[in-house]
A and B are shown apart, each in its own frame.
Chain A
Amino acid sequence: MLIPCPQCGPRDIREFTCKGHETYMHRPSPAAPPEAWDDHLHNRDNPAGPTREMWHHVAGCGAWLVVERNTVTHAVTGAMLAREVAR
């Protein structure tokens, strides 16, 4: 698989680690009910098709990316800097 790092260009996945679904970016407020935290920490869909995940270019530029990919075809359709998405 190739991940198109916005900083480094397309790179082999051996340079990346995957944290999981982009849910990790959307942190509930500290006062959110336990159910919201439970969803944030533990509950994930298992999509057959497009998904958005957090990947870290750990052996490259150090950027965290939101990668759009298809779990069925393995096609990677996009990657954005997480901080651009977070803003």
Chain B
Amino acid sequence: MRVSSTWQGESAASVTFTFNGQRVTGRAGDTVASALLANDIRLVGRSFKYHRPRGILTAGSEEPNALVTVGTGPDRMPNVRATVQEIYQGLEVVSQNHIGPLHRDLMAVNDVLHPFLGAGFYYKTFMWPRSFWERVYEPLIRRAAGLGALSGEAGGATSEKAYAFCDVLVIGAGITGIMAALTAAEAGADVILAEDAMVAGGQTGPQDGQIGDLAAGDWSQTRLDQLRAIPNVRVMLRTAVTGVYDDGSFAALERTGLHLPPGPDLPRETFWRIRAKQAVLATGALERPIAFPGNDRPGIMMTSAIATYAERFGVVPGRRIAVFATCDHAHRTIAALARQQGFSKLTVIDPRPDAVALGDYRLIAGAEVIGTRGRLGLREITIRKGGTEQRLEADCLGLSGGWNPSVHLTCHLGARPVWDEARAMFLPAPGAVPGLHPAGACNGTLSVAGCLREGQAAALTALRAMGRKPRAPALPDASDDPGRGRTLWAVAAKGRAWLDFANDVTTKDVKQAAQEGFTSVEHMKRYTTQGMAPDQGKSSNIGALAILADATGRTISTTGTTTFRPPFVPVTLKAMGAGAEGKGFAPERLTTSHAATLARGAPMIEAGLWYRPSYFPAKGETTWQQSCDREVRMVRATVGVVDVSTLGKIEIMGQDAGAFLDFLYTNTFSTLPVGRARYGLMLREDGHVMDDGTSARLAPEHFVMTTTTAAAGQVMAHMEFTAQALRPDLDVRFLSVTEQWAQFSVAGPLSRELMNSVLDDPIDDTAFPFMGCGAVKVHGIPARLFRISFSGERAYEIAVPARYGDALYRDLVARAEVLGGGAYGMEALNVLRLEKGFITHAEIHGRVTAFDIGMQGMLSGKKDFIGKAAAGRPGLLDPARERLVGLKPVDPDGVLTAGARLFKPEDPPEARNDQGYVTSVGQSPNLGHMIALAFLRHGPEREGHEIMMIDALRGIRTKVEVVPPVFFDREGGRARG
């Protein structure tokens, strides 16, 4: 029933949404919960295990009961708290966890079967027979388990991630947090004030009297408006701080657009990473329920929630409201409500015999609620006073068992809260999180004046920790009386009394766990599933461990709490992974020839982050193999052009550049003449191959190194480590120039002819012999030319500043085509290098040595280099190691596959008989059969032997002959020219 609204305003617009298909009208600013209550809809869902009817317990993000599914299609979100979700025109809300209509759930049979479904039911029942585990039990349990479901559709409105920085992060915009934010802002600090709700003020209301000359309930909003006007303050409403991490890092989830219809641009949620120098924790306290039989019916809710619905939304959640309260605070709340429209018939049941009514309501002191009635919603409660029982008509029952400080965030770095016996509360451990200062209700302080005082003090502490000298402004006058209360965890009465409403855990389940030996609070939790629902036991953890302490004869202090872990409220994976969909997953590195390559219809393949052409389909070609074969023949017969800009290029300069390369490479570079390039092998310090490539000497103190595409980043980091940490004595400077130069390989018998058609000054083999290099001009542009070959043909690599890459690539390919050649891709490049036995990272994959690849001779004996000592260990020089060989099929039609294992033909193909594996394969159009590189035990000693290649994954067995790992032009005459 709606009577009025102070916060939304009387003029708030009508908003229509649907609940289970039924049209419901609320007001702008309503949550789903407040709108449903305004329309007298109390039944909103079913409990997890017994499918008991469930209503709305709270008015905040701690809600265990009212979990609903909102939205449609890819924007559908399950397990949304109706107490948090704000309504908008057209919002679709459906209830969860029932088969058939909500009011006639077929699964409610579980509630009748409850004597058989106690704690540990699933563990005990679905044990035997073993053959039923996967076929019967798992599908059965999976169907019954879980709450709401995702749509299974991809896409939908996006979310985002963002960073924020501040001096002081204030968590919570109740009176404590607002006082802290005001204090910090006044001192000039950069402040972020984050509040989970869509409105400031927390639990403060009319029951709290005056703060200064303002009504307590209005103080927060007035001060928040002031804070918003201060430039160094950032107010973040609808933002829950979800986690605390090292060094002042906080995670927070903002409901950026969840209160609005999904649109294409506005993020649904923002996952914030906040870095704060200091922080004030002002998360308040959650009201504590009381366990008594039948305490879970729709209509039973926290007294603080009744007050919030009345204050914030003008909603009266029942016509006959009773409250079961053990503390003065609840009496103040009821006294304040009693003055409002719609709250005429209020009854308070208080177990304290000396309780005194504080206002215009009926008080039954020295009494307890011991039972409830009403199938789909509360109708009547049973009260026991002394030895007599009486029934009272009630459609709404408030619960007030005291307060549990929200200490969660103080525990995220591993601290445990401390039990305060006098106040019967868990409080933050002192210094639990460095730089995080708890204040107010989360610190156990419940009076209005106390909260203001602590909020200010925490901010002053934070400011001083930052080296500021803040002044302490006078605090407004407010009540300093926290009120008194009595602790009542559970009423002694017969019947099921709920602790965890979401997961249907009763006091009996906890006692049973204790009886069966699960006496540790962590074991009890897992055995009963208490606290394991989406609300993570916010309203049940403390009560459950109190019952456990009682059942095991221990104190609450020694029983302890379970571990509080992030996130404080559920965080969607969509928010955490925001931005990583599609193109956001990883940067794409595109070469300067990318557009021209796409224009020629080449499919692209990924090489690390780079995109490179796979092959260039020509007219009439229908398979990649046809294109690849043609491109290989083309390079061997005329000339081909390929972009090799993706290889790492590192410019190395300085008087010790040669000495630096000598230390990095196994072979010697200080003796390399200017104008020449040399192949180099680089090891890790553990003696295994890291990378290979050529380095060229452009000037006496100037080299340019190439690395493989795959290892460019690793080699750069390795060089930086070597220069900075191992050899700071060397005067050498280096920098990646991979992006500066567009570099193209021009390969084939006609490559010099092609080069001379673009170079300003023609070259010959005297000026540019094999492995020669130097500065040239191409179409008037200064360029670098290297005569190096990865194909075994005469080849040149021409490098120009990247701005000319697109133009030069198009020009080179066009000219190659005139000569009967053209562009070639990675498939052909791979076959060309395989025919020559040139290795790539398929071979130097991190577990092979120079010895394994037949390059032991490149390990200089005259100098020290990285990896030298380790490479000489006997185990790395064992002839029985898997060593590089070539393979060819005995039958020319035989298929070779990369990853296949090698066996002696007579051995069964079992792991213990394994002889090695295939690393790279290709179809050689020049040889007419497949060829492969492989690592084989005793490798080169077995040339001429036949072995069996077995690819168990693809079901391929091929008899192969071991051959030297060079299949074509063994003498190398073609490249040398």
Contact = CB atoms under 8 A, between A and B. Distances in A.
Interface in A55-84: 56, 58, 62-64, 74, 76, 81-83
A34 B873 contact: yes
B246 A82 contact: no
Contact of A56 (B249, B721, B728, B864): B721
B453 interface: no
Contacts of A34: 869, 873
Contact of B726 (A17, A19, A74, A86): A86
**Most chain A beta-carbon neighbours within 10 Å: one of B686, B728, B864, B873:** B728
A64 B247 contact: no
Given A30-B864, A30-B869, A87-B728, A64 B685 contact: no
Interface in A34-72: 34, 37, 40-41, 54, 56, 58, 62-64
Given A30-B864, A74-B246, A58 B728 contact: no
Contacts of B728: 83, 86-87
B251 to A, nearest CB: 13
Nearest to A86: B728
B685 A27 contact: yes
B710 to A, nearest CB: 17
A37 B869 contact: yes
A24 B870 CA distance: 14
A2 B247 CA distance: 6
Contacts of B873: 34
A85 B723 CA distance: 13
B626 interface: no
A83 B721 contact: no
A1 B248 CA distance: 9
Contact of B724 (A2, A10, A12, A82): A82
Interface size class of B (residues with CB under 8 A): 20 to 34
B717 interface: yes
Interface string B701-739: 000000000000000010011011110100000000000
A40 B685 CA distance: 10
- Looking at B247, B249, B721, B723, which has the most chain A CB atoms within 10 Å of its CB? B247
A79 B413 CA distance: 23
A64 B724 contact: yes
B870 A86 contact: no
Given A56-B717, A56-B720, A76-B247, A64 B725 contact: yes
B676 interface: no
Which of A30, A54, A63, A76 neighbours the largest number of chain B CB atoms within 10 Å of its CB?
A: A30
Contacts of A85: 725
Contacts of A63: 724
A25 B720 CA distance: 12
A38 B344 CA distance: 84
A32 B724 contact: no
A54 B870 CA distance: 21
Nearest to B736: A62
B720 A41 contact: no
B933 to A, nearest CB: 28
Contacts of B869: 28, 30, 32, 34, 37
Nearest to A85: B725
Nearest to B248: A2
Chain A contact-residue range equals: 20 to 34
A41 B870 contact: yes
Nearest to B868: A30
A82 B868 contact: no
A63 B873 CA distance: 32
A2 B246 CA distance: 8
Contacts of B868: 30
Given A30-B868, A37-B870, A56-B717, A24 B686 contact: no
A54 B868 CA distance: 22
A74 B720 CA distance: 26
Most buried by A among B248, B249, B685, B724: B724
A41 B247 CA distance: 32
B721 A19 contact: yes
B725 A41 contact: no
Interface in B248-267: 248-249
Interface string B40-59: 00000000000000000000
B56 to A, nearest CB: 40
B363 to A, nearest CB: 52
A63 B720 CA distance: 8
Nearest to A2: B247
Nearest to B273: A12
Contacts of A32: 869
B725 A83 contact: yes
A40 B724 CA distance: 18
B685 A41 contact: yes
Given A28-B869, A30-B868, A41-B686, A81 B724 contact: yes
A24 B725 contact: yes
Interface string B378-407: 000000000000000000000000000000
A83 B724 contact: yes
Nearest to A37: B869
Nearest to B735: A62
A25 B413 CA distance: 32
B717 A17 contact: yes
A1 B724 contact: no
Contacts of B726: 25, 27, 86
A21 B864 CA distance: 23
B686 A64 contact: no
Contacts of A74: 246-247, 413
Contacts of B685: 24, 27, 40-41
A65 B155 CA distance: 42
Contacts of A82: 721, 724-725
Contacts of A81: 724
A64 B248 CA distance: 24
Contacts of B249: 1-2, 12
A28 B868 CA distance: 12
Contact of B725 (A1, A12, A25, A76): A25
A2 B724 CA distance: 22
A18 to B, nearest CB: 12
Interface in B204-261: 246-249
Contact of A64 (B413, B720, B864): B720
B717 A58 contact: yes
Contacts of A17: 717
- In this complex, which of B249, B413, B721, B873 has the most chain A Cβ atoms within 10 angstroms of its Cβ? B721
A41 B869 CA distance: 11
A64 B246 contact: no
Contacts of A56: 717, 720-721
A4 B303 CA distance: 49
A62 to B, nearest CB: 6
A1 B870 contact: no
Contacts of B247: 1-2, 10, 74, 76
Contacts of A10: 247
Contacts of A30: 864, 868-869
Interface in B410-442: 413
B877 to A, nearest CB: 13
Given A1-B247, A32-B869, A41-B870, A54 B721 contact: yes
Interface string B666-708: 0000000000000000000110000000000000000000000
Contacts of A83: 723-725, 728
Given A2-B247, A34-B873, 9 more contacts: A1-B247, A2-B248, A37-B869, A40-B685, A62-B720, A74-B413, A82-B721, A83-B728, A86-B728
Interface of B: 246-249, 275, 413, 685-686, 717, 720-721, 723-726, 728, 864, 868-870, 873
21 contacts: A1-B246, A2-B248, A2-B275, A12-B249, A12-B275, A17-B717, A19-B721, A24-B685, A24-B721, A27-B726, A37-B869, A41-B686, A41-B870, A56-B720, A62-B720, A64-B720, A64-B721, A64-B725, A74-B246, A82-B724, A82-B725
Please provide the 7 A-B residue pairs with the shortest distance between their CB atoms, ordered closest to farther.
A82-B725, A2-B247, A83-B728, A83-B724, A30-B864, A64-B724, A74-B246
